[in-house]
Amino acid sequence: MEANLSACTRTGERVSVRVLCVAEYQRLRDFLYLAIYVPLGSQAPDASIVDHPDLTKYHASFGHVSDDALTAVIGGELVGVAWVRQFTAHDPGYGYCDDAYPELSMAVLPERRGMGIGRMLLDARIACQRALGTCGISLSVSQGNPAQRLYARAGFRVAVQRAGDLLTVLELQA
């Protein structure tokens, strides 16, 4: 699915959303680390946490037929990424709900948060999944993470409340 759109952030900077290039796939590791919610006053985990087998599945060997990633770019700099991977019941991710629902991961650089970039990326990702005929998208979000509001405004509903996180789902087809 091709996405290429641009708009201005709340600060007036030009942001473009486009498909993540193959040469940029290694950046998913960095953005996965940024997607980890760290409550205010808590110690952030070491960056090597994304090399744990439960997390490498979100970035390692990216490029399978069902993998897809969009990136937000300002002045040539990748400032956010929203990507989906298809997991199965035999090898689920944290946000797994069904084999037919790809799992969404996304992150925006901390210094670029609160500028509307996350919403722009999420809207583009949802539009791409709709165009592909995907029945829905799932994701896991930590309780207390401010991104919960973003996902709720986009239509994600809580499917399962677990200790510390929520499994949320966005239905894309009736």
Boundaries of domain holding 19: 4-171
How is residue 79 written in tokens? 């400032």
Structural element, H or E, at residue 8: strand 4-8
pLDDT band at 1 (very low <50, low <70, confident <90, very high): very low
Chain centre distance of CA 172 = 16
State the distance between the two ends of the chain, measured CA to CA, in whole angstroms. 21
Name the pLDDT band for 10 (thresholds 50, 70, 90): low
pLDDT digits (tens, 9 = 90+) for 66-91: 999 999 999 999 999 999 999 999 99
The domain that holds 51 is classified in CATH as 3.40.630.30
* Domain count within the chain: 1
**Interval 17-31: pLDDT, tens:** 999 999 999 999 999
Q: Is the pTM of this model over 0.75?
A: yes
